[in-house]
Amino acid sequence: MLQPMRDLLQRAKAGRYAVGSFDVPNLETAHGVLSAAHELRSPVILAIPESFFTLTGFEPLVQAISFMANQLPIPVATLLDHGKSRDSVVRAIRAGMTSVMFDGSALPEDENTRLTREIVDIAHAVGVSVEGEIGVVGRGAVYHERPELVQQGLTDPRDALVFVEATGVDALAVAVGTIHGHYTSEPTIHYDLLDRIASATGLPLVLHGGSSTGDHRLAKSTAHGVCKVNIYTDMSTAAMKRLEDIFATGHHHEMRANDLLGEVKLAFQKTAAHYIHVFGSAGQA
Ligand SMILES: [Zn+2]
């Protein structure tokens, strides 16, 4: 059943595991992730990034995944991922999402704080959870080419405390060494920094850019205050690989378009199941 993300993350914090937040661009992929969570009796977060707004019918998709979630006996939160404006957040709340992430990390800190506070006031008035972000989680090649940028973007525990007290967010996305997209060299997670942010703020922490960070690193992070890990790239890569194999072996001649959609669904499902085990949330629903 649908629940606000806050409830899922508070239980994860108490149980020292993390809930997977899986980006789903359409109904098939959402069905795949929900099937994995249902099979493994795991709480799960279905996320739709603002960058997917143009890709699909956003409101119909939220309605459909909410309907599916409410048929299942596991806790499911729906989340606007990386909302960049108040308009997007209000749109997600009106569509029926139970949680929103406001990403003001590219803004000056006081502007991020002011806007996040506004969004918390709006969302909490209707029982919707809010994830804020402080620090900068970079993207792709940055890790390899400009490691100093990753270092500069790391979340400062004192800034985190000021931000949390001023905004009232329910969960905090932190920059502790992960990046979005593919890594070009081995990532370093700053577990000591996680510990300091977790004890300063007392909030469930969120890791963005979970894909390919390494299972052992992600599993370890759940013992250091991480209660939510975002995954997209690895599910997408698994689906692309499956389609490449089908076309390379000529199997597509025996298939129709709906069969290909089914393969994409299965790739999302398998990858989500893998991470549900890694995060320790299997059997927690
Ligand atoms: Zn992210």
Q: Could you give the CA distance from residue 66 to residue 80 in angstroms, rounded to a whole number?
A: 13
The tens digit of pLDDT for each residue in 172-189 reads 999 998 888 888 778 889
- 246 inside domain: yes
Distance 98 CA to ligand 1 centre (A): 18
Give the model's confidence band at 143: pLDDT under 50 very low, under 70 low, under 90 confident, else very high.
low
Angle, helices 58-70/27-39, rounded to nearest 10 degrees = 20
The tens digit of pLDDT for each residue in 8-38 reads 999 999 999 999 999 999 999 999 999 999 9
Share of the chain above pLDDT 90, in %: 83
| Residue 65's CATH number | 3.20.20.70
Domain interval for residue 36? 5-279
The tens digit of pLDDT for each residue in 103-125 reads 998 899 899 999 999 999 999 99
Q: What pLDDT was estimated at residue 128?
A: 98
Q: What pLDDT was estimated at residue 144?
A: 66
Q: Which residues are catalytic?
A: 81
Distance 49 CA to ligand 1 centre (A): 8
Average pLDDT over residues 189-200: 96
Distance 69 CA to ligand 1 centre (A): 23
Distance 137 CA to ligand 1 centre (A): 7
Local structure of residue 253 (DSSP, 8 states) = G
- 272 inside domain: yes
Whether pTM > 0.75 for this model: the answer is yes
- 90 inside domain: yes
Distance 136 CA to ligand 1 centre (A): 10
- 60 inside domain: yes
Give the model's confidence band at 136: pLDDT under 50 very low, under 70 low, under 90 confident, else very high.
confident
Token pair for 132: 């804020």
- 271 inside domain: yes
CB 33 within 8 A of CB 22: yes
Average pLDDT across the chain, whole number = 93
Q: Which amino acid, residue 56?
A: T
- 284 inside domain: no
Give the model's confidence band at 212: pLDDT under 50 very low, under 70 low, under 90 confident, else very high.
confident
Q: What residues does the ion ligand 1 have nearby, CB within 5 Å?
A: 208
Distance 232 CA to ligand 1 centre (A): 9
In sequence order, the 6+-apart residues with CB closer than 8 A to the CB of 236 are none
- 285 inside domain: no
Angle at 97 between CA 27 and CA 99, to 5 degrees: 120
Q: What pLDDT was estimated at residue 140?
A: 63
- 24 inside domain: yes
Distance 82 CA to ligand 1 centre (A): 6
Q: Could you give the CA distance from residue 274 to residue 107 in angstroms, rounded to a whole number?
A: 35
Q: Could you give the CA distance from residue 39 to residue 140 in angstroms, rounded to a whole number?
A: 32
Q: How many domains does the chain divide into?
A: 1
Give the range among 64-78, 126-140, 234-248, 257-271 with minimum mean pLDDT. Answer: 126-140
Give the range among 50-59, 69-78, 87-96 with minimum mean pLDDT. Answer: 50-59
